[in-house]
Amino acid sequence: MREEAGSTVTREEAWQLVNEYVKSPRLINHLLAVEACMRYFARLYGEDEETWGLIGLLHDFDYERWPTIPDHPLQGERILAELGVPEDIRYTICSHADALADRYPRRSLRDKVLYAVDELSGLVVATALVRPTKSIHDVDVQAVRKKMKDKRFAAGVSREDILRGVQDLGVDLDEHIGHVIRALQSAADALGLVGTAASDD
């Protein structure tokens, strides 16, 4: 399996890379959200939390400079390769782009989890931001499902990608949403989503 290699990049080095290439607070927040989700699911499945977390943190680090497919994520892949990041990690990052599915099909559990949390984490964060408390602790599965049905809400979030990700992962949608909510609750401080319910965590 491709997941045998460990990362040669530390979390601190990855964070420095993010700050070098990403200036948008919104995109940085997205990277932190996906990192939190990947760490959570690594623990859930008994996988390497550090490696999975790095993948989440770095999966879109090149997007601000190269937003067009296939420059994103291939420009990022090139940079990571030059830094000595193992091929298996770069593969998973590239696999989250549907346009590259022929070259980087999602095969491993890690590939599928990254895809399944990418768009959904954005929808869950957006749901939290419109709650009166602006707290991720005030978000439940029902609230996310309601917002998911409203195509005008967070219109940039692909509902099709969310459903495809859940199908490929072979999990129940509500269960998966619940896991993503809990993952983001664990990173509420970093995401600025503590709101007035910080004491509930």
DSSP codes of every residue in 49-100: HHHHHHHHHHTTTTTTT--STTHHHHHHHHHHHHTT--HHHHHHHHTT-GGG
CATH topology of domain 2-200: Hypothetical protein af1432 (1.10.3210)
Give the pLDDT of the chain (201 residues) as one tens digit per residue: 234 445 578 999 999 999 999 999 999 999 999 999 999 999 999 999 999 999 999 999 999 999 999 999 999 999 999 999 999 999 999 999 999 999 999 999 999 999 999 999 999 999 999 999 999 999 999 999 999 999 999 999 999 999 999 999 999 999 999 999 999 999 999 999 998 644 443
The pTM of the full predicted model, rounded to 2 decimals, is 0.93
